[in-house]
């Protein structure tokens, strides 16, 4: 019974944290007051950055605190170990697929309705860098919760493939606000990246692949968008 409890508690904790955290994140960022502020704020640059930082706190920092102080475990038990050469090989393969796919997909009207998320018409270079850094911080936290805490807590209890299916289902559901296309495309990506996370034993392949996916999409969308451009120096 003790062994069973040791397997159940991390899974229930990770599942509950993800469910509570995502609902809290969605409620805050979808609230009328937040949307009003976002609409009034300098073409929503600051609200988007703060939204990502909110994700860093809820998905990343809160997960870390729960693991250390509630479960009395080490983050290394949930995939924070250093990546190996196998991880970088797969990163190169995934990047060779994701970057060209985004090149052709990012210019679609459907994609340009959402991306880049910051709708400021003129971006100084500092904003381009700040947006990239906020994406990186957000995705580290996001993958730490999904492919780290939840996946590595699920596998000992559910087995590999049930854990991957649970992870992918939840991952896909979080994309519903972004439309059916992203929701469905999250399924094959979620299955593959979860399996590779298990194979490599670390979240860093998932983190880096997700960063490649997000930043290439943002930069291509920035390039394709007819009303958004980089601010020229001296102006």
Q: What is the mean pLDDT of residues 187-214?
A: 97
Domain limits, the chain: 2-230
Q: If you average pLDDT over every residue of the chain, what do you get?
A: 91
Q: What is the mean pLDDT of residues 193-209?
A: 97
- 182: DSSP letter: H
**Distance separating alpha carbons of residues 76 and 66, to the nearest angstrom:** 14
77-88 residue pLDDT tens: 999 999 999 999
Are 227 and 211 in contact, with CB atoms under 8 Å apart?
Answer: no
Are 53 and 137 in contact, with CB atoms under 8 Å apart?
Answer: yes
Give the pLDDT confidence score for residue 45 in this predicted structure.
86
- 59: DSSP letter: I
Q: Sign of the CA dihedral 73, 75, 78, 81? A: negative
Are 190 and 115 in contact, with CB atoms under 8 Å apart?
Answer: no
| pLDDT over 70 at 42, yes or no | no
Residue that has been written with the tokens 């930069």 in this structure? 219
Residue that has been written with the tokens 């988007």 in this structure? 48
Per-residue pLDDT band for 104 (boundaries 50, 70, 90) equals: very high
Q: What is the mean pLDDT of residues 222-232?
A: 88
151-175 residue pLDDT tens: 999 999 999 999 999 999 999 999 8
**Please, what is the Cα angle at 15 between 14 and 16, to 5 degrees?**
90
- Which H or E run includes 189? helix 180-200
Give the pLDDT confidence score for residue 134 in this predicted structure.
97
- For the beta carbon of residue 162, count every other beta carbon within 10 angstroms: 12
């Amino acid at each position: 019974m003790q062994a069973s409890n040791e397997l159940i508690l991390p899974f229930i904790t990770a599942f509950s944290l993800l469910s509570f955290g995502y609902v809290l994140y969605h409620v805050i960022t979808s609230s009328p007051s937040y949307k009003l502020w976002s609409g009034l704020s300098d073409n929503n640059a600051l609200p988007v950055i703060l939204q990502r930082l909110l994700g860093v706190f809820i998905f990343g920092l809160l997960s870390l605190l729960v693991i250390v102080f509630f479960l009395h475990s080490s983050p290394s038990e949930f995939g924070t170990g250093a990546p190996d050469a196998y991880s970088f090989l797969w990163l190169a393969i995934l990047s060779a697929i994701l970057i060209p796919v985004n090149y052709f997909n990012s210019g679609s009207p459907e994609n340009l309705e959402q991306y880049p998320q910051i709708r400021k018409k003129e971006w100084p270079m500092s904003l381009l860098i700040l947006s990239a850094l906020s994406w990186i911080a957000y995705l580290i936290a996001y993958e730490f919760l999904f492919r780290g805490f939840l996946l590595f807590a699920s596998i000992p209890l559910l087995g590999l493939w049930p854990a991957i299916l649970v992870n992918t289902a939840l991952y896909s559901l979080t994309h519903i606000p972004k439309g059916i296309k992203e929701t469905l495309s999250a399924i094959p990506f979620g299955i593959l990246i979860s399996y590779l996370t298990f194979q490599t034993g670390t979240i860093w392949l998932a983190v880096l692949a997700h960063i490649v996916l997000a930043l290439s999409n943002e930069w291509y969308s920035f390039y394709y968008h007819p009303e958004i451009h980089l601010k020229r120096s001296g102006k």
